[in-house]
Amino acid sequence: MSTERELQISPIVQESVMHNSRTLSNLQSLTASLFGVSAGILGLESYSGFLLYLVFSLLTAVLVYLLRVAPTSLSSGKPPLDTSRYFRSPFDFWTGGLMNGLAGYILTWTLFYGMVRA
């Protein structure tokens, strides 16, 4: 947890945290649709299609963490995998986009699967 002194030195602005969460959600929804296109074109079915979504969604979160969150968090002395400086909780960052993008993924997956198989 952050101490009062740390919050006075570099305060966490809730509007910025909400903006970061919205931006991450938009990115994950967009990439979920792109993953659905790829799963449909590859002709994946059942568990393999959902596994592709799970793996690539987590890969997207890892890339965002490595490129945007980690450089400034680690340099400010935060522990590895800590996202509290930019997001509400680590759970929201790492798994929050899984449910948000699932509907778009399934929609584009079935659309492109049907177009390729027709």
Q: Provide the pLDDT confidence category of residue 69 given band limits of 50, 70 and 90.
A: confident
Proportion of the chain above pLDDT 70, given as a percent: 90
pTM recorded for the entire structure? 0.81
- Tell whether the model's pLDDT for residue 1 goes beyond 70: no
Look at residue 6 in the predicted model and tell me its pLDDT: 61
Mean pLDDT confidence for 37-52: 96
Kindly indicate the confidence band of residue 79, based on its pLDDT and cuts at 50, 70 and 90. Answer: confident
- 110 within 8 A of 41, measured Cβ to Cβ: no
In this prediction, residue 38 carries a pLDDT of: 96
| DSSP string for 33-78 | HHHHHHHHHHT--HHHHHHHHHHHHHHHHHHHIIIIIHHHHHHTTP
What is the pLDDT, as a whole number, of residue 10? 61
Residue 3 has pLDDT above 70, yes or no: no
